């Protein structure tokens, strides 16, 4: 794919470079996998949708068997597993050491980060664009990165999109460290024949307004580096579809074949004795007529027709489906809730979460690196914190915490409570301080009133 050095070498013909970069990017293997991941995420499993049953006619030609059952049952494993991994780390949002950091990132940062993280899992990578006061998410399928060949850092990129690549115009935005420029395909042109529709401008623009001139630019500024940060789904830097697709396809094919057999085995089939005088074409016509019309005339005087039924082999398939399901959860590092018994202790639950915790550690490391790069653009030094969204025996956990409460400070106790988020801890402590201050003030007022009453009583006695 095109690199940042290729971009620097093509400054005299930017539109041609952008078109070539987008076309090469959309033709890449990683882009194709990302598009497949989108299909599986929507429960449109490509393999099972393309599966066609064939049979061979009397001449040996392969033809589509349109008379056989061809159920196509697509599972939802891909969406389910990725949602579990993403929600496990980000279901409760992300917190920081100081409340001001979260306020500067905006009220919708949690939802934007969750969306970026999910795209990073299924596509391999997504991109967060920091635009003055909030973050915007660029999926991998809409952003062509231009990586520096020397240090591997993202130095520029091209955001592109279209409602219909064959019928509708394509819009492309070139992002560089000193600003961005917007392009669009010419009306009536074919391919990516781009023309500039918005001149190059900085990321930060100071605008003034007066009655005579209206709004006008009075100053421009940029960030210390490109305000687009990549977020990878794992240290492997590949889509979670890689390796998982084959298991999902096997599960779907077996499950669909099971349904097809149930449909076909519900019918009766016949064995004809003393029919050796029939040619291959006669037998084929007899079979086709039976399958299509379910009735056929037979010469019972000279032959014998017996009906039979088949039972579907279920045990082997059910065992194999269970095995594939279990293997998918184990390989992905997810938790199958069916393996956790009701009333299990926290030791058993923690053991079930072990592989999931290991995968979450890797995933959260990628999120931390991405968020810290965003904070660096804002000149903020902070570290994101996560409260994992997991099931637990809360009663047992709270009882154990209360036994140790005498040895812990109030903030630590609140942070360890399973039903309290990190952000809620600050609010609880704040309210406790306010209540304590109010109670102290009332006590002081009561003491003052008591002292005044005592003095009055002494004066009266005198």
pLDDT in tens, 80-90: 999 999 999 99
Secondary structure class of 139 (helix, strand, coil):
strand
Strands 214-221 and 228-232: unpaired
By the 8 A CB rule, do 69 and 259 touch? yes
74 vs 51: CA distance, rounded Å: 12
The angle subtended at Cα 26 by Cα 120 and Cα 144, nearest 5°, is: 55
Q: Which residue did the predictor score with more confidence, 438 or 193?
A: 193
Asked if pLDDT for residue 37 goes beyond 90, the answer is yes
112 vs 119: CA distance, rounded Å: 11
177 vs 347: CA distance, rounded Å: 51
Among 18-22, 430-434, 453-457, the range of highest mean pLDDT: 18-22
CA neighbor of 370 nearest in space, from 108, 126, 176? 126
pLDDT of residue 125: 97
Q: How many CB atoms lie within 10 A of CB 269?
A: 14
E strands, 132-263, are 134-139, 143-147, 154-161, 171-176, 179-185, 194-201, 204-210, 214-221, 228-232
Q: What is the pTM of this model?
A: 0.76
Q: Given pLDDT bands bounded at 50, 70 and 90, which one contains residue 404?
A: confident
pLDDT (mean) for 283-299: 66
pLDDT (mean) for 168-172: 93
C-alpha distances (whole Å) from 450 to each of 436, 447, 454 are 21, 5, 6
194 vs 192: CA distance, rounded Å: 6
What's the DSSP call for residue 98? Answer: S
Cβ-based neighbours of 393, under 8 Å, separated by 6 or more: 343, 344, 345, 346, 349
Burial class from Cβ neighbours inside 10 Å (0-12, 13-18, 19+) for residue 90 reads buried
Q: Which residue did the predictor score with more confidence, 413 or 238?
A: 238
User: Which of 273-287, 368-382, 383-397 is predicted with the least confidence, judged by mean pLDDT?
Assistant: 273-287
């Amino acid at each position: 794919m095109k690199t940042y050095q290729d971009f620097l070498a093509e400054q005299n013909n930017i539109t041609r470079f952008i078109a070539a970069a987008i076309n090469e990017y959309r033709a890449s293997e990683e882009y194709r996998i990302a598009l497949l991941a989108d299909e599986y995420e929507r429960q449109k499993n490509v393999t099972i949708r393309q599966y066609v049953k064939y049979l061979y006619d009397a001449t040996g030609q392969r033809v589509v068997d349109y008379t056989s059952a061809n159920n196509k049952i697509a599972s939802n494993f891909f969406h389910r597993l990725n949602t579990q991994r993403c929600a496990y780390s980000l279901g409760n949002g992300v917190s920081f050491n100081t409340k001001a950091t979260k306020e500067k990132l905006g009220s919708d940062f949690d939802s934007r980060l969750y969306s970026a993280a999910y795209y990073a899992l299924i596509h391999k990578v997504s991109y967060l664009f920091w635009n003055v006061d909030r973050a915007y998410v660029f999926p991998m399928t809409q952003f062509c990165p231009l990586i520096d060949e020397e240090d591997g850092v993202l130095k520029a990129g091209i955001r592109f999109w279209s409602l219909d690549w064959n019928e509708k115009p394509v819009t492309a935005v070139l992002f560089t460290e000193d600003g961005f420029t917007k392009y669009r395909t010419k009306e009536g042109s074919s391919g990516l024949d781009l023309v500039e529709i918005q001149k190059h401008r900085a990321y930060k623009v100071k605008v003034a307004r007066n009655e005579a001139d209206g709004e006008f630019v009075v100053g421009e500024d940029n960030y210390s580096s490109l305000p687009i940060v990549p977020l990878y789904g794992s240290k492997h830097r590949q889509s979670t579809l890689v390796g998982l697709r084959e298991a999902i396809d096997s599960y779907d094919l077996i499950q669909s074949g099971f349904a097809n057999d149930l449909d076909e085995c519900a019918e009766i089939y016949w064995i004809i004795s003393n029919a050796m005088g029939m040619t291959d074409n006669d037998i084929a016509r007899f079979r086709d007529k039976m399958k299509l019309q379910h009735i056929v005339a037979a010469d019972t005087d000279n032959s014998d027709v017996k009906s039979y039924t088949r039972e579907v082999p279920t045990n082997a398939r059910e065992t194999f489906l269970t095995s594939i399901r279990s293997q998918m959860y184990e390989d992905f590092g997810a938790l199958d809730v069916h393996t956790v018994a009701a009333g299990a202790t926290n030791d058993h639950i923690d053991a079930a979460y072990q592989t999931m915790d290991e995968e979450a550690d890797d995933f959260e490391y990628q999120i931390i690196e991405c968020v810290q790069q965003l904070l660096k653009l804002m000149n903020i030094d902070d570290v994101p914190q996560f409260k994992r969204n997991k099931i637990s025996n809360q009663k047992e956990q709270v009882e154990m915490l209360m036994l140790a409460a005498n040895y812990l400070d109030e903030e630590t106790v609140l942070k360890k409570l399973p039903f309290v988020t990190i952000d809620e801890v600050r609010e609880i402590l704040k309210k406790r301080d306010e209540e304590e201050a109010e109670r102290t003030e009332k006590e002081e007022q009561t003491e003052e009133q008591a002292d005044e009453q005592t003095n009055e009583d002494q004066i009266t006695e005198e």
